[in-house]
Amino acid sequence: MTNKNFLTAHGVIYIFFALALFFGPTILWPAYGLQLNDQYAVFLSQHNSIFLGGIGIISFLFRDSGERSDTAHIILKGLIWTNVLGVVITLYACLTGIFTGFGWSDPIFFALLAVLSFLQLRKNR
């Protein structure tokens, strides 16, 4: 896959979840075993959409960085570490019982994106 296609797909995935967390937190979070009991919990979900949307936008902005460029290597390394951090935090939520049900999909999701980002980086060397 080219960097352009990879970064476009990565951006679409992150923007999708940003929009879901902003517009439908009361639908999405209960599937993960979380309850949104007040307006503050809903706002925190919407607040998190800033960062997910930002990662999506950054992915889109760097999709034309070219193959085997220093810029492409830097953005792919950043995506790897972002997704590894996602694995750690969401796995913690699963292991401590914060996430239940569909929540176990999150560490798998982040691990998959980390591995795909790593493979894309390795392909660019």
CA geometry: angle 122, 87, 115, nearest 5 deg: 20
Q: In angstroms, rounded to a whole number, what is the distance separating the alpha carbons of residues 51 and 74? A: 18
Q: In angstroms, rounded to a whole number, what is the distance separating the alpha carbons of residues 77 and 74? A: 5
Structural domain that includes position 41: 3-123
User: Which amino acid is residue 9, in one-letter code?
Assistant: A
Q: In angstroms, rounded to a whole number, what is the distance separating the alpha carbons of residues 35 and 15? A: 23
Domain count, the chain: 1
* C-alpha torsion angle, residues 76, 80, 86, 87 (rounded to 10): 150
| Average pLDDT of adjacent 10-residue blocks, the chain of 125 residues | 94 96 95 92 93 95 88 94 96 94 93 97 90
pLDDT number for residue 125 = 80
pLDDT number for residue 90 = 95
pLDDT number for residue 66 = 82
Q: What is the DSSP letter of 67?
A: T
pLDDT number for residue 68 = 79
Q: In angstroms, rounded to a whole number, what is the distance separating the alpha carbons of residues 122 and 102? A: 31
Cβ contacts of residue 74 below 8 Å, gap of 6+? Answer: none
